[in-house]
Amino acid sequence: MGDYAIELKGISKGYETFQLKDINLMIPRGCITGLIGANGAGKSTTIKLILDMIKKDSGEIEIFGQCHNDNTLKERIGVVLDEVHFPEVLNLRDVNRIMKHVYKRWDEKMFFDYAEQFKLHHKKAFKEYSRGMKMKLGLAVALSHGAELLILDEATSGLDPIIREELLDVFMTFVQDERHSILMSSHIISDLEKVCDYIAFMHEGDLIFFEQKDDLIESHRLYKCSEEALKALPPEAIIGYRKHLYGVEVLVRDHENIQNGVVDRASIEDIMLFHTKEKTVC
């Protein structure tokens, strides 16, 4: 058994107005990896490439050490996309009838146990489900066929905090089995801060960083100072800065010797935002 759930080596994919450029990303097993970035950064494109929903221009993708376009791999992968695409007239029981003939290791009992846990009505048509219920149904399917890898593309978007908390608990329980891994893209950084072990940040088709979450937070500081103090900072420590009416906010990395200013911990959201800001001080 390899160390990585997913390996992307030199992955490129080009569209008319967008280019995913030479992405190298190794998603470890037994961990939750968060994939963050602005809209159009390439998160969904990366996920679709992993799932062979679109074809790569170059590079290699492996899942569990096997070529990603081996269809049998999908028995081991549970997927929840930003919307759950069941036909609207189907109900929970219909979904079970279908899925037990799709997945070899479909666990009917587990599926109905999750339905019970998520309080999903058995005979209600899919079109009558709320968004939260639809995502829960999608997750119940993803968790009920012996998946070792969950891939979630904005699966918690548009959900209220109570449901999100419920789903995050399910994710944490899932990875208690060290063979299990999760790759989740989300705009809700607070969710990722709660559950993720690793954070990958993408911006305009590039992978900007991929680090352990705790190391990331510990190594960055948000420094509020004057413009003069900004100029005194070593350039290699500056990730980005933002000027305000009364001063400057600077994100610094691996730099403890900060004077004449206020130093705060940087959140993942700060780190993401400042990576897209100016970093050269004029």
Partner 1 sequence: MLGLIIKDLLNMKGQYIIMVVSIVIYGALAYSGQDSQMLGLILMLFAIMAPVSSMALDEKAKWDAYAATMPIKRTCLATSKYLLALGGLVLNMSIYFIISLLLFGMSVEPLFLETMGYMALAMVVQSLMVPITVKFGVEKGRILMMLSFAIPFGAVLVFEKLGLNMAIGVLTTGHYMALALITINLWLLSLKVSQMLYLKKVF
Beta carbon nearer to partner 1, 90 or 258: 90
CB of 141 to partner 1, least distance (A): 9
Give whichever of 86 and 241 is closer to partner 1, judged by the CB atom.
86
62 contacts 6 by C-beta, under 8 angstroms: yes
Minimum CB separation from partner 1 for residue 180, in Å? Answer: 17
Residue placing its CB nearer to partner 1 in the complex, 13 or 29: 13
Rounded CA-CA distance 61/92 in Å is 34
Shortest distance, position 106 Cβ to partner 1, whole Å = 9
Using an 8 Å Cβ cutoff, are 189 and 114 in contact? no
For residues 231 and 280, give the distance between their C-alpha atoms in angstroms, rounded to a whole number. 10
**Smallest separation (angstroms) from partner 1 to the CB of 112:** 18
- Do the beta carbons of residue 35 and residue 203 sit within 8 Å? no
Strand partners, 222: 251, 264
What is the rounded distance in angstroms from the CA atom of residue 60 to the CA atom of residue 8? 6
Residues 50-89 that bind partner 1 (CB under 8 A): 51-55, 71-75, 77, 79, 81, 83-89
Q: At what angle do helices 108-117 and 131-143 cross, to 10 degrees?
A: 150
Q: Which of 200, 197, 157 is nearest to 181 (CA)?
A: 197
Query: CB 99 → partner 1: shortest distance, Å?
Result: 7
Task: Establish if 48 lies at the interface with partner 1 (CB under 8 A).
Answer: yes
Of 13 and 164, the one with the shorter C-beta distance to partner 1 is 13
Nearer to partner 1, 94 or 204 (CB): 94
Q: Give the binding site for partner 1 (CB under 8 A).
A: 48, 51-55, 71-75, 77, 79, 81, 83-90, 94, 97-104, 151
